[in-house]
Structure formats: C-alpha cells, structure tokens
Structure 1
C-alpha cells in the first residue's frame, strides 16, 4: 500500500508545484573579460551605484550617490559622485571617468533605469555622429552589457567592491557634517586605500617580492615605494635601454598576475553539479520574494545558451509580458500535459490541480492488488 501512495504522490500536480525549486547549472568559467592580460587598466569595467550620502549645503541637506567603476582585470576602482539618479547625471559621471581613465571597451552593469538610459543615449549619440567625425570619436563605440534583473550573483565582481568601499568610508568617517568638497576628498582617499590592497599572497620566505596590488598596474610602482630622483643618464642610452627596461617591468607584472592571481580566482565555491537545461515551453515559477504565493508563473519563451552549452538565462512569457531572468531564479514545474488531466490548466497564471487525497480517493485511479 505504501508503494501505491508513493506513486500517487509522485504523479500529484499539487505536490510538484509545492516542491519545485530552482536548480542552478554548473558554475561557469570566468569570462574572458576577467582573464585577459596585457590590457590597459579599465578596458573592461563594472559599474554600480551606492548611497545615498547626505551632504550639507548651507542650511539644507541634499543626497549624493557614489558611482563605482571597477576594472574587471586588475580589480582597481574609480569613484565618482552622482548628484542625482538621472540619466544625465550618470552620463556626466561616465564622462569624467573616461576623461581620466580612457574609454572602456565594454561596460557591465545591473538593470538600473539610469544605466539603461545612459546606454540608450550613448547609442543615440553614436547614430548622430556623421562619417567625418567617426574617425575621431571611435571611443563612443563602447559596448554595454546588462545582467538579467534580480540576479545579484552575476554582479558580484563589483558588488563586493561596493561593500569594501562602504567599509572604508565608515572607517574614515569622523562623524562631522559632510559637504560636497569633503565628500570628494573622502572618496578619493577611499579609492586610494582600496587600490593599495593586495591581490595575491606572499610567503614569509620572500624577502624582495611583494604582493601584487592594483596600483602596480595603475602607476607602475608599489603603493608604499618612495619616489626617488634618478641620476642623469646619457640620452642615447636612455632611448635604447629605458624603453626595453620599462617593457620588461610591465611584462613581469603581468606574468606574476597570470601565475599568482588567476589561480586564486578561478575556483568554484558552489554549483558543482549539473542541471537539466531549460527548454522552450517549460513551465516555470519566477522566484522573487520569500513567500511562494508571490511567485509568478510563466513559460520559457527562449532559453539563452552560454558558450559552454549551458542555459543560465532565459526569456519567460508571463501574463504581464516577456521577462528576462537568470536560471537561478527559475523553478521548473515538471508537469507533462498528460499529468494535468482534462480539467486542469497548466498555462501561465493558472492554478495547479488538486493534491492527492483532497478531491479524489487514491484508489479511484490506482488499481490495488488484493
């Protein structure tokens, strides 16, 4: 009799709906934007906002936000102040960043409305450039990639540095009122501290070797190295040897980066197992919120296949439209058309069928051997 009940429970639609959970695919390898050496710093950038921070202007108070740019390769940060959460403020922060660090090849960000507006306006500006100016303004052709909504795990590379920046700001906060001038100075100090943090470990046996930090790549020197006046040299010798020496120093830095830093980040800490890929037509729950009754049901419209053949994102058709979500936020309902019966709908927005034993007896559909 126990096996009969187990079979009924296994075929019960309500049980499948109640027990469905997201199944994450195997953790992907690091993207090429994070493991590409010999690149100019801030060629591949992650962008995020945090705040607000209250500043005093005379007798009134206003809110400011901090825009964090991080290099995905050397993990350096650049901080700018945004005076509002508008597209224009975002564009001006990006313009100040580009003026100091150079135009990035690709920008990654979350799906903030200000980021979407900035990307759309940059595209509009790009289309308005005529052919005569295209040669001089090729830096405007920066690719902008967005993560799926409600997927913070895909932006951890800059989310972790947001936390580090907040910790530094709390440490150097003296409790006094902030002005715009003081805030600009404070975030500059915070960026200096974060860019001085070590990226690799150095054993105690190493006497002359020091840990790599972002400043090695930004300035070509250690953060605590004193700046000494070099003795005068012969110009002919300097032209012949100094360039080769500088190239050798840069190449040694990148070799250490490949040998010491890359193995430390190329490790999987979770999602080791394989999961079945989503298919077109699968019925899923969009997991948003702690309460299960708030989850939205939908049908997989188009799975997005990654380079390794696994599906980590998909377009989901719901009653409110087509949404893009990560696989980690999708709970598949393993329900076949034959399982539901003629009176049970399984489309988006519909309710699941009755659980076993609620509206029918188990012995009505399952033959019992006497």
Structure 2
C-alpha cells in the first residue's frame, strides 16, 4: 500500500479522500449468513480527472444460532460490521500513512443513530462497540446511503466469479463517486421516533440525594450541638408575641436539652427515612423492603423508635424504645463520638452497649469502629508507624569489588579488658566493627575510648590491614540512647558535630567518602546491625586459638575465583526477595502532622510535629523526612514517625496528588466536622419563623445560619 501511495504522488495524482462502504444483514436461505466491509481509494489528478479503485475488503461469518442464548438481532449484526470496517480502516491507515479525508457509509439508520449518540446512553454491547468505532473513526464522517448503492452488499450476499466480472461498481464503486462531492448523496436527518434505536437504550434511574441540614455541621460535639439547638428553640419561643409574659430565662434546663435532642433526631429521620415515617403513621408498620424492617419501628412523639421485644422489661422507656438513627447521617457520628469520649475512650463493645440505652444507630459496629480509629487520643495510646515498600539495594551492595573497598562501621560495647599485670583493674573499651558491603566480611578493631583520635586510629589500623576503603557508611548513633550511662557516651560521640567534621576532613584527604544514615533509623544499616548481633552472641563463649595454613598462590587464586562465582550465582540472587515492607504505600506529604516515636518514652509523651521536608529516594518513594517540633527540627526515617488520623492530613494528601501526581498518604478517617465547615466570625444569620403573629425574622450576631422551623418547632 505504501508503494501504491508513492506511485500516486509521482504520477501527479492527489489523494482526494477515502471512500468506505459496508453491508451486514443479508438474507441467505432465510437467515443472516455473513457481513462485510470494503474500502475504496478516490484520487484526483492535476487535470481534475477522478479515479476510484477498490483497495481492500473483509468479510465475516455471522454468529451461529444458540438455542440457549438470545438470537443476535439484525441491528447488532449491522453494528458488528461497522466495527469490522473500523478495524480494516485502522490497518489501512497504519500502512498508507497519508493525510486524506475519510467518508464512512452505511445503509442502516439505526447504526447511524447509535454512532451519533454518546456510548453511555446505550446498553453494554452497543456501548462498547460504539465507543471503539467512534475512537477509531474520529477523523471521518458517517453518512447514509441506499442499500442498492452499497457495493458491500456483494460481500454478504455472495456471488460467483462469472457474475462478479460484470459488477463494475464492485471494482470502481458507485458512479456518483466520480462526480464532485456536492453531487454525492445527502444524509437525511434522523428522527429517533421513526426508528427502533431505543431498543438498546439503557434505562437510567435518577435519584435525588438529600444533603444533611447545615445545623449538623455547626458543632462537632454532641453537648455543644444540643446547647446550640436549645438556644435557637428558646429564642424562637421568646420571640413570639404570645409568650411575651412567660419568656424563658437563665440557664438551659434539662427539659430544653431533651427537646433539642429529639428535634435533632426527628430532623435526621426526615432526611433518611421519609417513606418509613409515612408508612408507620398510616399503617403502623414499614414495608418489608425497608432497611429498618427488622426493628419493627413505632412512632413515639413523632420519632421513629425501635419496637423491639422489651415491652415487659423493668427498664426505662428510652432503653425499651431507643431512637433510630441512620449510621450514614452526621448525627450518628456525633453521638458515637460523644459516648466514646464520655466513657474515657472506651473500646467498641462498651461504647455500643451504652449508646443503645437511648439511641439505636444502624450498622453500629462499623460506625463505632470508624469513630475509634479516627480518635487522636486513642491513636496516640497505640500509634502505628508509617511504612513504605522496601527500597532496592544500592549499587554499593550489588556491584563486585575488592573486599573492604566499601564498608560500614559501627561501635559495639562497652567491654572490659584485664591486662596481665597483677592487681590491675578492668579497663573499659569498645569494638569497632567494619563490615564489607559486598561480601559481608567482618573486621574487628579494639578501641580504647570514645574520642575522635581513638576512632581515627582504629580506621588507620583497618586501612593498614585491609586496604584503604573508597566508601565508609556510619550510623548516626542516636539508636544508642538508653538508660545506661555508657551508651550515652556513644551517643554523644556520634552526635558531636566536631567529631563528624574531623572524621570527614581526615577521610576526604585520603579520597574516602564518608556517609551518615538518618538518625534512629537502624533499618538503613541492617548489615552492620546484624554483624553487631553476631559478635555479641559469639563473644559469650570462650574463643579458641585459630591457626592459619599458608596455601600456595595458585590455590588462593582459585579459591578467590570460586568465591566470586558463587557470589554472583548464588548470593546475589538471594537478595531479590523482600522479607518485609512488601507493599507500596502512600507517600508522606509536606505539612502532615505526625508523632515522633521514642523508644524509651511512653507514647503519650512522644513529640508532636509537622513534616517540613521530604527526601525522595531513587525510586520516587519517600523514606526520610524532616520534622519540625517545639524542640527543633529532626531528620527521621518513616519507620520512626506515626501519622495522626486527622482530616488535615487527608486534605494535604489530596493537594499533593493533584500537584505531584504521586500517591500521597491518605488515612480515610473523619475528624472534627466543624473545622471544614467553619464560617467567618461576625456574620449575621436569620431564623425564619412560620408565625403570622410575630415578626418574620430576627437577626442574631452569630455564625451564618439558615434553617427551617422544623428544627426549632417544639414536639407535639
């Protein structure tokens, strides 16, 4: 095809357009047999001569009839042939690669109607076919022609070779394709009422969701919300002219608070169970399909209550017939949080049993579980550290090199050494453990004290024995903080900035790169931590005298080669698997509120902080963050921070996703509902009262609020 396109350009012809036709629902022997599609190329020479030739065609056998399944309809077969045409057109365009206008022709008005409508309007089969056809043929136009002018009809009906020789319109297309485009058939306007395209139309059910009233977002505490509604109800009562001589003053009474609670429950039920309220008021029971049919609800003071089976129990009326509250309504979360905090952050079962003495939320276990998981106080008593997918091994671990060319160093101790002199006191010392990053070989050096000079002396002895290393990685030593006085000395040594500067200057002069891992992150140096553990276990038993045999040079070289072969074939492959942290987690976002984990402090005394900076790894994941606290800034690994389950962290996560396109940390929990619904202070709000004898509105200097009289109307 590409050679044909080049020949057209060389002969002075211009590709005026691609003309396509198809036919799909022939009748052969009284049933549908096949469908097909064909493609024609129309070229226009410089002199205006038009030439049309058949380029390619494709046919398919119609699906066989299945007695168990529904018979394939003719419009669906027509749509299948349209999809076949689109696939053939796509293959042609990938081979020719020309910029030509495409015209698609069909003799089916139903298919043309389907293709002119959005795919979501139709059922699954039609929607999938229409979507793919529209995507492939987006640069062309679909038109309608009569069946007698459709050359693809020959594909579906079949024809002998002798008959095909006389069919000029099969090889050259219809006669009107040689004329100007203004003389081509004009597609008629489609009236959907006149065709049967609606057979495949998907039934759409529109449900109008009622949003909760704004009064539930004004306060997040049950006590504050109840007092606010009680004040609103008192204001309405005092504003009426008939109550001028009996106004309610002073503190809010318990009766007013109870009426406020009933008003809130009644409003929530009108939003969640409108049909149930009507059914119980009329026929004294709800429909069997209702979500609360198993509770046998009944009306008490205009409120749906649990009918239950405790009518003869010697308990209060509220416990016999508690108020029904939908667990998806904001009031249910406020009630569950109130009882959880009232019982001093009780667990699930105690919170449920206490709450059911007056309220009966649906799906109560899921509701209480969500409230407990979103409680910051409960989270701080049992925090969970953040995790991330275990990082890939750095190049220093997987690239072969000479032993001890790249090492990690750590201190172990203290130990006590007794010199052979008589009556000498034990002397405290330490052991510097050098671990090869490639071969895991271990070199031990005895260090007299924790001074900088003693460490540099051990480093020089190590270099003299094993050779000068190119890279040295060191622990930040904050993990040595403990109760013992000796470990405090280790901590102060590695935290001393002067020590770090001297070590880095000394090693830089020898072309040695010195690196420190994040503080209190032993998982960044698991190799040397494992060596320290092995040394401590090995040091418990008496050591035997080790004798070395001097092997010939050839044997040493052979053993060295065998060692590196086994290292490449066996050891390197064992590093593939991740023993933990096997799942990809959401990254921490800047501004996230966290708790810094301290090994030797109770969780409630851990510092609160906010992430000020994140450090991306080579794979884009964040495993080290900078946290700002009241005591200063700290650099910590994510295994030492606990992300608080508050809504601010979720909002930061959404912004991080929109900006960076990476999966941030999301907790999916709920916090103080008042924080996101807080309005500017000082705005005035008006309460509209349905009372002809009083003024229609009264301004109050509070937050902006507007509500119907259903909330503040007293119970009848």
SS at match of 1:170: coil
SS at match of 1:171: coil
Alignment of 1:82-161 (within 5 A): 82-112=447-477, 113-115=492-494, 117-125=498-506, 140-161=510-531
Q: Which residue of 2 aligns with 1:299?
A: 610
Of the three residues 11, 18, 22, the one matched with 2:378 is: 18
Question: 1:235-282: CA deviations, max 9, x gaps?
Answer: xxxxxxx8xx98786555323211101122332111111211011111
Counterpart CA distance in 1 for 2:466 and 2:571 is 23
How far did residue 59 of structure 1 move? 2.7
Counterpart CA distance in 2 for 1:314 and 1:75 is 29
Alignment gaps of 5+ in structure 1: 128-136, 174-185, 193-222, 231-241, 344-366
Counterpart CA distance in 2 for 1:273 and 1:302 is 23
Alignment of 1:143-222 (within 5 A): 143-172=513-542
Question: 1:112-169: CA deviations, max 9, x gaps?
Answer: 3434554310334478xxxxxxxxx5xx232222122222222220111112112222
How far did residue 50 of structure 1 move? 1.0
Matched, 1:327 2:690: no
Alignment of 1:56-67 (within 5 A): 56-57=418-419, 58-67=423-432
Counterpart CA distance in 1 for 2:675 and 2:550 is 81
- Contact kept? 1:54, 1:64, Cα under 8 Å: yes
Q: Which residue of 2 aligns with 1:279?
A: 589
- Contact kept? 1:90, 1:118, Cα under 8 Å: no
- Contact kept? 2:374, 2:646, Cα under 8 Å: no
Counterpart CA distance in 2 for 1:84 and 1:36 is 35
Counterpart CA distance in 2 for 1:122 and 1:156 is 22
How far did residue 12 of structure 1 move? 8.2
SS at match of 1:23: coil
- Contact kept? 2:507, 2:514, Cα under 8 Å: no
Q: Which residue of 2 aligns with 1:253?
A: 563
Aligned-CA RMSD value: 3.1
Between Structure 1 and Structure 2, whose CA radius of gyration is higher? 2
How far did residue 68 of structure 1 move? 0.5
Change (3 A) 1:22 1:99: same
How far did residue 228 of structure 1 move? 5.5
Change (3 A) 1:12 1:249: closer
How far did residue 331 of structure 1 move? 1.1
Change (3 A) 1:126 1:255: closer
- Contact kept? 1:69, 1:79, Cα under 8 Å: yes
TM-score by structure 2 length? 0.35
User: How many residue pairs were aligned?
Assistant: 272
TM-score by structure 1 length? 0.65
User: Whose RCO is larger (CA < 8 A, sep 6+)?
Assistant: 1
Counterpart CA distance in 2 for 1:7 and 1:276 is 27
Q: Which residue of 1 aligns with 2:391?
A: 28
- Contact kept? 1:287, 1:330, Cα under 8 Å: yes
SS at match of 1:299: strand
Change (3 A) 1:18 1:125: same
Alignment gaps of 5+ in structure 2: 1-324, 338-369, 478-491, 652-670, 677-710, 712-716
How far did residue 100 of structure 1 move? 1.4
Counterpart CA distance in 2 for 1:246 and 1:56 is 37
How far did residue 13 of structure 1 move? 9.7
How far did residue 170 of structure 1 move? 1.5
Question: 1:215-237: CA deviations, max 9, x gaps?
Answer: xxxxxxxx98x64568xxxxxxx
Counterpart CA distance in 1 for 2:371 and 2:537 is 51
Q: Which residue of 2 aligns with 1:358?
A: none
Change (3 A) 1:248 1:61: closer
- Contact kept? 1:91, 1:118, Cα under 8 Å: no
Matched, 1:268 2:633: no
Change (3 A) 1:66 1:60: same
How far did residue 97 of structure 1 move? 0.7
Counterpart CA distance in 1 for 2:621 and 2:552 is 55
- Contact kept? 1:88, 1:118, Cα under 8 Å: no
- Contact kept? 1:87, 1:115, Cα under 8 Å: no
Counterpart CA distance in 2 for 1:21 and 1:142 is 39
- Contact kept? 2:416, 2:429, Cα under 8 Å: yes
